[in-house]
Structure 1
């Protein structure tokens, strides 16, 4: 008993040392948390409504009254950046959920059932052969510009990435002794997939989800910038940059601040995902 307790106490400092050795992951988590909190509390924090127009104050630089200046219609850029974060982060999170539903299902089916492996794998390869942004533009153009259709399009685009990860892990897990024992005991296949397979692919799935979250924010901004994404009436970081480029010489802050928000959010998510990969991957854990 004492030896077990001593071993547990010996492992705890090791975990703390691993976390402390990756300050970039901690920084990424802190920044992401701050961005999410500011976006969620935007109605309480923003000094103005995102659509409040004051033409007489148009194209004014940053000041105490308008921390990030005003745009071409006199709207407060700071307020719009906060409210745009709600939309951009919401779309990114919804894309992760939708892509996970499709990707995990395809990956489990392809990895666990041999007869479905070849056709599903070919479907995944075919989808990944297209550049992400081109496939997203084509899907949004076919479905129509709206937040829901952007989520569907980007979810379809990023689902193959998750499917490949889940499939590769499932191919290994299905041959392990405890899975074979569950089959021999007559455990239903859905139970095996959820209880024994899905639980063991959670770690790589979580890492991929952080990267897809970052890529989805970038893709949504790109679609909105091109005018084929979310309706221009809804503030997003991409639409703010698209409008701001017309006034780059007169009021560069219209582009600077939403662009900085995108860079900061995506970079922090990448740092967080990289740290999670090091913590959760046993092949890399020993080097952390």
Structure 2
């Protein structure tokens, strides 16, 4: 009897179906443009992100400076490109780090009955704190840096993934192919990796897109409050925080970074919604 289940219960043309959805296609295009601009920042940025020009401070959008300049005469378009690299890198790193913690906690709680209660209580305790307050506390304890922001946000969002994976694992562990693997003497780590983890890929992928969006928002919030990444590193949150002081005379300092955050988060949400609708069997029937 075969003991290995299909890795992912989705059709091979899932990407084409995702692109076929108008809202998901819009999200993919916006996200691709933002990611490409951030990745190619050193090649397309007209200035250095730290270049000062006091004579050009607080200039509005013009040909020389597409998005205007800030209070120190730095080109906002250039700084937005480099800030996008920071935000996307931090968001992706948070997804990876929180996924590792969430997978370990979720599989442990869902597969091992004796550990379900203590691990579940730990997850509930972590989720009892508001996300932003817990992130601020962790960053304050660890220190302001990109690495510590990733660690703090990873700890904050890991319980969400853990609960989803635990719920899926509770169902999968009772399926016939898992029981068959146990009867054949397959080692528990192999069962967890080959049979359980491979079949929680769909919810993990969907939750990952939403955590990506939330992490970008949270990083911007921490930087705005001055407890996130070092002010020397361009971030959208820091740019908004500085622009707040000149909101009346230089509104573009806040508008363009804010628009970048909105577009990035919106595109990730659109992609996440599309993945959820296609990968959830209950919703896929209605598509």
- With the shorter chain as reference, the TM-score category is over 0.9
- The Cα RMSD (Å) is 1.6
Shift of 1:16: 6.1
**Correspondence for 1:48:** 47
CA distance in 2, matches of 1:283, 1:15: 19
Cα distance in 1 for partners of 2:136, 2:61 equals 35
Distance (whole Å) between structure 1 residues aligned to residue 191 and residue 233 of structure 2: 44
- Equivalent runs, 1:23-62 vs 2, <5 Å: 23-62=22-61
TM-score (norm 2): 0.94
Aligned to 2:280: 281
- State yes or no: 1:215 paired with 2:223: no
Determine if the alignment matches structure 1 residue 167 to structure 2 residue 166. Answer: yes
1:159 Cα deviation (Å)?
A: 0.1
Partner-residue secondary structure (3-state), 2:192: helix
> 1:87 & 1:13 partners in 2: Cα distance?
32
Deviation at 1:216, TM superposition (A): 0.1
- Gaps (5+ residues) in structure 2? 1-10
Question: Which whole-Å CA distance do the structure 1 matches of 2:88 and 2:237 have between them?
Answer: 12
1:2-151 pair list within 5 angstroms? 20=20, 22-151=21-150
Describe the shift of the 1:207–1:18 C-alpha distance in structure 2 as closer, same or farther (beyond 3 A): closer
For the residues of structure 2 that align with 1:109 and 1:134, how far apart are their CA atoms?
Answer: 27
Residue aligning to 1:241: 240
Counterpart-to-counterpart distance in 2, 1:16 and 1:80: 35
CA–CA distance in 1 between the matches of 2:13 and 2:120? 43
Q: CA 1:286–1:214 in 2, change beyond 3 Å: closer, same or farther?
A: same
Number of corresponding residues: 277
In structure 2, how many angstroms separate the alpha carbons of the residues matched to 1:54 and 1:172? 61
Q: Give, in whole Å, the separation in 1 of the partners of 2:214 and 2:208.
A: 10
- Seen in structure 2, the aligned counterparts of structure 1 residues 140 and 58 have a Cα distance that, compared at 3 Å, is same
| Whole-Å separation in 2 of the counterparts to 1:176 and 1:84 | 47
**Compared CA separation, residues 267 and 190, structure 1 to 2 (3 A):** same
Structure 2 SS opposite 1:67: coil
Distance apart, 1:119 and its partner CA:
0.5
Calculate the TM-score normalised by the size of structure 1: 0.94
Aligned CA distance change for structure 1 residues 211 and 16 (closer, same or farther; 3 Å): closer
SS of 2:64's equivalent in the other structure is: coil
Q: CA deviation at 1:283?
A: 0.6
Which runs of at least 4 in structure 1 moved beyond 2 Å after TM superposition? 11-20
